[in-house]
Amino acid sequence: MRILPGDAQPAYGNDARGASRWSLSGGFAFTMPTGEFADFVDAGVGFGIHGVAGLDPYGIIGIRLDAAYSTYGSERFSVPLGITVPGLFVDVRTRSHVGMFSVGPQIQLPVGPVRPYVNGFVGLGYFYTSTALGSGEYVCGCGGYYGYGSATSFNDVSLGYGARGGFDLQLSRGPTPPFLALDAQFRRHAAATYVPNGGVFADEFGGIMIQPVRSRVDFWLLRFGVSVGL
């Protein structure tokens, strides 16, 4: 039998052609600062989601969109409620976060119970610190902080880029089975301004001081979650 060139198919064609070309994933995210960034902040924890839109019938090449955030620092101290009510203090709680948004091409092995992938990306980092005034008590024992008000007290946006590698581990059978998604990315921002550990404090007059720093920002982002086809 003669095989014409147009009849040739990739070895994975029969398995991958029926697979979904679109996928969505969500899970926990952990940041591990390196270099200068590690001198000012601690490791952080948060959440991330991503979606992949396939560009070919087999799901090998796609465009990946990512969004994630991580909380990397917090401070808590007391300041006077006001000069008209001496002896009364209010708690100040601050939390520092980084939000991450990125887009880039992804290449993935589309068949088998373990499906590795690599991805390069460009994106934005949103560094911000929120400040809340509260009573220092927790409501109903459920961890809700009783606050009088909150606001974003500092923020900055910086361009970033990086690369990631990971794999999807198939959890069950079916036309669109769920996968355990594990990956690690290295992310770099040439320069960003952010609030470091100890960068928010009470001054001698009872006010709140913020001392941001500017440096290159490098960190690892580790994620694990669940991915499904759409």
Using the 8-state DSSP alphabet, how is residue 3 labeled? P
Closest CA to 224 of 162, 174, 169, 163: 169
pLDDT digits (tens, 9 = 90+) for 156-201: 999 999 999 999 999 988 777 899 999 999 999 989 999 998 888 7
The structure tokens 């220092």 sit at 136
**pTM greater than the 0.85 cutoff:** no
Cα–Cα distances in angstroms (integers) from residue 152 to residues 63, 76, 93, 95, 124, in the given order: 33, 16, 12, 10, 18
The C-alpha atoms of residue 221 and residue 160 are separated, in whole angstroms, by 13
Q: Dihedrals φ, ψ of 6, to 5°?
A: -70, -15
Q: In the structure, what pLDDT confidence band is assigned to residue 20 with cuts at 50, 70 and 90? A: low
What's the CA angle centered on 193, arms 33 and 205, to 5 degrees? 110
What is the chain's alpha carbon radius of gyration, rounded to the nearest angstrom? 23
Structural domains for the chain: 22-229 (2.40.160.20)
The structure tokens 């606050």 sit at 147
- Contact (Cβ atoms closer than 8 angstroms) between residue 220 and residue 186: yes
pLDDT digits (tens, 9 = 90+) for 106-133: 999 988 899 999 999 999 999 999 887 7
Say which residue, 201 or 138, is predicted with more confidence: 201
